[in-house]
Structure 1
């Protein structure tokens, strides 16, 4: 039964209103610092902006590398105001925001409408005087639409590489309310990226350390790639107010499209080599039938103890050799991990890849998934449809695959845009995890699958020793590897390895 709600006493309501008005009237509103009021300094920064030159005058710093950004030191002069503002912010309700791109806490209340005296005063300064000053300096006709929110970043929280481009955002800003003694070792810096020849983020070239009462802002454009580095301190909170000024949209270049990965047909391997690797339990017809039944219901399965123990131990030893060459995989707005240069791979690793791409394993995978990955695979009632799907201009498609040996350490991840170049209607993902003893879900590094356009997770694949995880997905299913945070350094190996193989019918 719903609770009854009574109208508040009108006298009490009027008392509260008068009290709030009294509180607001007692707040000394913050004003722009003197350096921002000076006509001479304003002229200097207008020239700096138009000429794209580095300029530092008083409390204001302008920079144009890798893209235009500025920092205003000691933004609010009144120390008591700053303390009262932080108290109001601490009373807000914060909810966790967590997906492939970020993990942090954001105020549930919208700072654009929350009615508290010190937040109101700061909002008024940002919405009016600051907006007009930025418009005057940059010439960008900022409109009245301003986004404003409060965020808390705590230990292991981060916001990965992105460019902020959305609709008519023109200027992004962050006002820092961190503790006085925030150091580089605490993390949480605003990292700025340069771009490569394709306009994609290449490397961090500048880091802006959070400093209490500093106000940072930058121009949002096609190359304004940045991130909030992971917070590494366990006893401090990175508190900030951030948002965007909006204005006339600017023309954007066509997004860069990566070339799809090349897949290859299965290869022949010696029969003895194949049997040297695979757990014979997965060759049993009854076991294969049971696995197929479950896989057809769930579209995913984990095959434990997939490799024979002695081979798996050899593989673990070889993959940790120090003379292997690992290549950094980017760009940072899509992925960050290391992939093995196969030219440096020891023979045992090459043989393992031969096994995973072998004609015999294609047949085993066909038998345990019901997919048409091999001409000798038994046909089910639905194979007529599969056969039609495998036709391409009247020609039968050839089953094929691609494998990659990957190393995962602190700071590695992939984002859901990592699958933008997928062209097949359906694919079978195969993940073989290696050296993941001591791994915990709180470290990150698990692979999440979500439906395109949805936030709800469909399933997660967790690193498990000597297990082969199979996931059948369509174009509408996206995947990402969750950011490996600082806690992963607690593992004996400081991370883990895997071999991702993708199969197509």
Structure 2
């Protein structure tokens, strides 16, 4: 656990760019903006729902419009003169960038305000987007847009990613991306704009459309409760996915209330034989002096890591059996705007794994965790200092301490996100995660669990997977958590992922 430039260009290049910037730059935009007949045909398709050969697609070669999974449109060439595009890329690459990194994304964003910059090529593009493009989109979609336009530059490099989201915020109405990627960009490089279908609850279900970035192409889509999309992780170390993106704003529209998940069914403490309990736990954690020391640390810091928690033979068998579970028995846990990892049905796990789950949910474990943390997790435990939190929990959940467990598998692409409808964060709880099969795991792979305060970006705590360790963290209602996206670096490791058994205990 832990509490939480770019290279210089040759002088000749800099001089040439400076002299270039002093000259007047000329931009030739796509002739589609002046083609009234093409505009009417696209408008008929988009606004008046005219179907073409029973297809949801409209493609002229210059413009591709599609209604599924939500309305989006691709203009193959926004700018006609290639020299302008090359100079624009040079100008953008000379900007200063800062890393943006949280639960949802990891990439670099320009620090310069593109709304006010006087750099010639960016200014010329901005005028086109603010005027020609905005007016054309209004005519095509029938959406009234204000003059407010957000615009920034994003740079995605190896392992950078933007996870599933819908872009809905305030009065955003249309999102756009203008690509400045190398001409050689291909599917294997990653970085595709991926669009999701919806499930019966209006949540994202699965990726049904992929758009490969193409230099000088301009993509836009309507921001709606259905516009779930993501930027696929960058899988190449040799190329940079550069883009200028943002939102057009307009009158707010009514949105349906978001779907709220119910908490998993709670499990009451399980009775197991005393000898069975002792056969699993490392004897050092039964020592009263050790327990007192752990409790002192936990009360002070609200977290602790218990290394070598299980007896070695039990742990090794657990690793072996969980690793050998057939792939078909692991199912994806979503929806992807909240989480993406694998779980196994607890009724189908090997007997040894089932016994471990019984041990973790046992009456004796509730008593032990009470002794280690000072929380009121069992009637035999002393009254804790968190009595106020305990009473509030009981009002919302019930009078008896309980828990719920999952057996999870983490691999490339796995993550969890912070979200507004998370019912679990409405209750104070003790998070307990037993890490399995994560030998030599490095934080740079992702997979660390981060805790943050509501409304804040700075980490309060970061928990990195460590084999046979039990991470205990007390979480109040003002604390959020997420598991960082596991990136492509893990594919070169021995295990290419790890497993854990997570259990959330309620007083």
Alignment correspondent of 2:163: 160
1:449-503 Cα shifts (integer Å, max 9, x gaps): 0001111110011100100010001111000000000001122111000111000
Alignment correspondent of 2:132: 129
Q: Which moved further from structure 2: 87-96 or 421-430?
A: 421-430
Cα displacement (A) at 1:273: 1.0
Corresponding position: 1:65 with 2:62: no
Alignment correspondent of 1:4: none
Corresponding position: 1:191 with 2:194: yes
Cα displacement (A) at 1:74: 1.8
Query: Distance in 2 between the 1:21 and 1:319 partners?
Result: 63
Query: Distance in 2 between the 1:322 and 1:293 partners?
Result: 39
Query: Distance in 2 between the 1:386 and 1:146 partners?
Result: 45
Unaligned runs of 5+ in 2: 1-17, 51-55
Corresponding position: 1:140 with 2:138: no
Cα displacement (A) at 1:24: 6.6
Corresponding position: 1:45 with 2:42: yes
Alignment correspondent of 1:431: 433
Query: Distance in 1 between the 2:389 and 2:104 partners?
Result: 35
**Cα distance 1:246–1:391, how it changes in 2: closer, same or farther (>3 A)?**
closer
Cα displacement (A) at 1:389: 4.9
SS of 2:377's equivalent? coil
> Which residue of the other structure, out of 326, 338, 341, is the alignment partner of 2:342?
338
Query: Distance in 2 between the 1:198 and 1:42 partners?
Result: 35
Unaligned runs of 5+ in 1: 1-19
Cα displacement (A) at 1:88: 0.8
Cα displacement (A) at 1:247: 1.0
> Which residue of the other structure, out of 27, 32, 37, is the alignment partner of 1:35?
32
**Cα distance 1:345–1:296, how it changes in 2: closer, same or farther (>3 A)?**
same
TM-score by length of structure 2 reads 0.92
Contact 2:425/2:476 (8 A) holds in 1: no
Query: Distance in 1 between the 2:394 and 2:73 partners?
Result: 57
Query: Distance in 1 between the 2:302 and 2:453 partners?
Result: 14
1:47-103 Cα shifts (integer Å, max 9, x gaps): 110216421113111011100001111211111111111111011000000000000
SS of 1:262's equivalent? coil
Query: Distance in 2 between the 1:386 and 1:184 partners?
Result: 51
Query: Distance in 2 between the 1:448 and 1:491 partners?
Result: 22
Alignment correspondent of 1:169: 172
Cα displacement (A) at 1:343: 2.5
Alignment correspondent of 1:460: 462
Alignment correspondent of 1:363: 367
Cα displacement (A) at 1:342: 1.6
SS of 1:416's equivalent? coil
Q: How does 1:274-313 map onto structure 2 within 5 Å?
A: 274-313=277-316
1:89-146 Cα shifts (integer Å, max 9, x gaps): 0110000000000000000001111111111111111111111111111111111101
Per chain length, whose mean CA-contact separation is higher, i.e. which structure has more relative contact order (CA < 8 Å, sep 6+)?
A: 2
1:172-207 Cα shifts (integer Å, max 9, x gaps): 110001001001000000000010111000000000
**Cα distance 1:418–1:408, how it changes in 2: closer, same or farther (>3 A)?**
farther
Alignment correspondent of 2:333: 329
Query: Distance in 1 between the 2:153 and 2:21 partners?
Result: 22
Alignment correspondent of 1:226: 229
SS of 2:275's equivalent? helix
**Cα distance 1:139–1:383, how it changes in 2: closer, same or farther (>3 A)?**
closer
Alignment correspondent of 2:118: 115
Contact 1:192/1:207 (8 A) holds in 2: yes
Contact 1:161/1:333 (8 A) holds in 2: yes
Query: Distance in 2 between the 1:438 and 1:419 partners?
Result: 35
Alignment correspondent of 2:183: 180
Cα displacement (A) at 1:35: 3.0
Query: Distance in 1 between the 2:414 and 2:350 partners?
Result: 24
Alignment correspondent of 2:492: 490
Q: How does 1:242-253 map onto structure 2 within 5 Å?
A: 242-253=245-256
> Which residue of the other structure, out of 270, 273, 283, is the alignment partner of 1:270?
273
Cα displacement (A) at 1:34: 2.1
Query: Distance in 2 between the 1:188 and 1:201 partners?
Result: 19
Contact 2:393/2:427 (8 A) holds in 1: no
Query: Distance in 2 between the 1:408 and 1:465 partners?
Result: 14
Contact 1:30/1:122 (8 A) holds in 2: no
Query: Distance in 2 between the 1:329 and 1:253 partners?
Result: 24
Query: Distance in 1 between the 2:235 and 2:98 partners?
Result: 20
Contact 1:409/1:495 (8 A) holds in 2: yes
1:199-249 Cα shifts (integer Å, max 9, x gaps): 000000000000111111111111000000000000100000001111111
Q: Which moved further from structure 2: 37-46 or 185-194?
A: 37-46
How many correspondences in the alignment? 483
Alignment correspondent of 1:481: 483
SS of 1:121's equivalent? helix
Alignment correspondent of 1:11: none
SS of 1:353's equivalent? helix
Alignment correspondent of 1:237: 240
**Cα distance 1:24–1:195, how it changes in 2: closer, same or farther (>3 A)?**
farther
Cα displacement (A) at 1:438: 2.3
Contact 2:393/2:428 (8 A) holds in 1: no
Alignment correspondent of 2:154: 151
Cα displacement (A) at 1:323: 2.6
Q: Over alpha carbons, which structure has the higher Rg?
A: 1
Q: Which moved further from structure 2: 101-110 or 396-405?
A: 396-405
**Cα distance 1:173–1:198, how it changes in 2: closer, same or farther (>3 A)?**
same
